[in-house]
Each structure stands twice: as structure tokens, then as C-alpha cells.
């Protein structure tokens, strides 16, 4: 399911680390929906999440300390693979409509519209996608508690991206055989640095060719591609 959530702001500005703000909004939605009984299903440590999101602002200008907007409004696109998750968040977003959500520097965000939007699917064993939110490929080393990120221009990108995405598919319930059919190829990309929890995270934007079984491609189109999808990374748009 894919949702379009429109919102207005009191001030024409936003924090550079805006994904962190929308994560807080998602958690608030779940905390207040159905007495918060589903919160642990998504946000207990180690819980897998089958959703992704992307944020669109009104003609943003990025400064060192904040984002300046032409108009005090924006849109959140939310996409998930499971119907239950979709209807849960659909209901939760509706419940937050017209309720101001406090932000930094005295700003406030108010949801004005929540609606379901079409979910294009591929009928082929390949799909050209444009990244609506940056593709993040992360390798975490537990022994050193260290994260290493890879962008499309690095020699090991294809190996690392395929490994991350294949393992995500297996955790989602796909067989090793189906997951192994997946391939990703950068087509027209650029590197970007994303502000995330006071860190600059290297990511990739642009167009990628995805190949594999149709079932896994359509799952990735809904759930997101790569690492940290539920934190606002890896939302693809089928082209």
C-alpha cells in the first residue's frame, strides 16, 4: 500500500535532519493508534520493518543549519509491503489529522490530507527505478560496532548492495533461490551526503536497473531497497 500524506508548517523552514523528525512522527502515530498496542511490533530492537518513506518540500534551499522552503507545506509518501501495516498507518495518520506536531525552533507540522495512491507493479523480470529517497547500503560490523556505507561509484558497491538486499528478502520470507535472482545495476546516478542523527551518510540517488523474479521486484517496489528503508531511505519509483 502507498499513502500520500500532505502537511502544512507554521514556518517556512525545516531541520536538515528531517528524516529523524518524520521517524518521531511515525512513532507518535503508532503510540496513539489503537492504544499503542502495535508499537512494539515495529519499534522494539531488532524488529524488521517492511516500509519506506520519502519527503517532498516546496522548492527547498539547503543551508548549513536548516532547509529554507518557498511555501510552508510538503508531502510524505509512505509505502509498505503488507496490507496490515498499510491499513494500520493509514488509520494512524488519519487520527493525527489537524493535530499540530511540535518541531524544532517552535515550528509545527499539521497533517491536512491522507489518501491512498496507486502502486505500479512490474510484469517483467526487470524494472527501471528512480530513487525518491536516497539508496543507503550499510555494512555493520558488530565486533567493532562500526558502520561502513557504500555508494554506486565504489568497486564493491554491487557486491555489498546485492548482499544487503538479498538478506533483506530472505528475512521477508523469500527463499534463497528466489532472492539469489536479484541484481542491481546503476544507470544514471550521483552521490549524496545525507544528514542523519548528526552524521553525514553517503548514499546514491538517480536511476537503477533491478532484475530478478517479479515477486521480489514488486516486494522491493513496495517495501524499499537497501538499508534503513524505514528511516526514510531507499524508496523507488517505477519508471
Quote the number of domains for the chain: 2
Where among 117, 147, 163 does a domain terminate?
117
Q: Which of 49, 82, 117 is the last residue of a domain?
A: 117
C-alpha cell read off for 48: 524488521
Strands (DSSP E) contained in 82-123 are 101-102, 108-117
The whole-angstrom separation of Cα 93 and Cα 79 is: 13
87 and 131 inside one domain: no
CATH number at residue 58: 3.30.70.1890
Q: What confidence score (pLDDT) does residue 156 get?
A: 96
What pLDDT score was predicted for residue 44?
83
pLDDT tens digits for range 12-55 = 999 999 999 999 999 999 999 988 889 988 998 878 899 999 99
At 101, is the pLDDT very low, low, confident or very high (cuts 50, 70, 90)?
very high
Quick one: average pLDDT of 199-205? 96
Q: What is the pLDDT of residues 47-61, one digit of tens each?
A: 889 999 999 999 999
Mean pLDDT of 216-221: 98
For residue 145, what pLDDT is reported?
72
Identify whether residues 109 and 203 lie together within a single domain: no
Same domain, 161 and 104: no
Give the pLDDT of residue 202: 97
User: 107 and 25: one domain?
Assistant: yes
> What 3-state class would DSSP assign to 141?
strand
Q: What is the CATH number of the domain that holds 190?
A: 3.30.70.1900
Residue from 219, 1, 221, 22 nearest 91 by CA: 1
Is 140 in the same domain as 183?
yes
Q: What is the pLDDT of residues 106-123, one digit of tens each?
A: 899 999 999 999 999 999
Instruction: Clarify whether residues 135 and 218 are in a common domain.
Output: yes
Full domain range(s) for residue 76:
2-117
Rounded Cα–Cα distance for residues 65 and 67 (Å): 7
Buried b (16+ CB within 10 A) or exposed e, 188-222: ebeebebbbeeeebbbbbbbbebebbeebbbbbbb
- Say if residue 80 is in the same domain as residue 153: no
Instruction: Assess whether 154 and 72 both reside in one domain.
Output: no
Taking only the tens place, the pLDDT of each residue in 115-170 is: 999 999 999 999 999 999 999 999 977 666 788 999 999 999 999 999 999 999 99
Each residue of 167-192: pLDDT tens digit? 999 999 999 999 999 999 999 999 99
Single residue among 64, 98, 117 that ends a domain in this structure: 117
Same domain, 168 and 74: no
Q: Within this chain, do residues 111 and 132 fall inside the same structural domain, yes or no?
A: no
For the chain, counts of helices (H) and of strands (E): 6, 14
Q: How many residues does the chain have?
A: 239
Kindly state whether residues 153 and 106 are assigned to the same domain.
Answer: no
What average pLDDT does the segment 97-105 reach?
A: 93
Residues 153 and 221 in one domain: yes
Query: What is the pLDDT of the chain when averaged over all its residues?
Result: 95
CA distance 148 to 93: 34
- 113 in helix, strand or coil? strand
Amino acid at each position: 500500500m502507498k499513502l500520500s500524506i500532505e502537511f502544512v508548517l507554521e514556518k517556512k523552514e525545516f531541520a536538515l535532519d528531517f528524516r529523524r523528525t518524520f521517524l518521531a512522527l511515525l512513532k507518535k502515530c503508532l503510540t496513539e493508534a489503537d492504544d499503542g498496542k502495535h508499537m512494539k511490533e515495529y519499534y522494539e530492537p531488532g524488529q524488521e520493518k517492511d516500509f519506506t518513506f520519502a519527503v517532498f518540500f516546496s522548492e527547498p534551499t539547503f543551508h548549513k543549519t536548516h532547509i529554507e522552503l518557498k511555501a510552508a507545506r510538503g508531502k510524505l509518501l509512505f509505502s509498505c509491503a503488507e496490507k496490515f501495516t498499510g491499513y494500520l498507518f493509514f488509520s494512524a495518520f488519519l487520527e493525527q489529522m489537524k493535530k499540530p506536531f511540535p518541531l524544532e525552533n517552535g515550528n509545527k507540522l499539521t497533517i491536512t490530507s491522507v489518501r491512498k495512491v496507486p502502486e505500479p507493479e512490474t510484469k517483467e523480470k526487470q524494472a527501471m527505478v528512480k530513487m525518491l529517497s536516497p539508496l543507503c547500503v550499510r555494512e555493520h560490523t558488530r565486533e567493532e560496532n562500526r558502520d561502513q556505507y557504500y555508494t554506486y561509484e565504489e568497486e564493491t558497491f554491487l557486491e555489498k548492495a546485492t548482499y544487503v538486499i538479498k538478506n533483506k528478502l530472505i528475512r521477508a520470507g523469500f527463499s534463497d533461490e528466489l532472492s539469489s535472482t536479484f541484481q542491481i545495476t546503476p544507470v544514471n546516478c550521483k552521490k549524496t551526503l545525507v544528514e542523519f542523527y548528526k552524521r553525514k551518510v553517503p548514499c546514491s540517488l538517480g536511476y537503477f536497473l533491478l532484475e530478478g523474479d517479479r515477486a521480489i521486484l514488486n516486494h522491493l517496489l513496495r517495501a524499499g531497497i537497501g538499508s534503513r528503508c524505514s528511516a526514510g531511505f531507499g524508496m523507488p519509483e517505477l519508471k
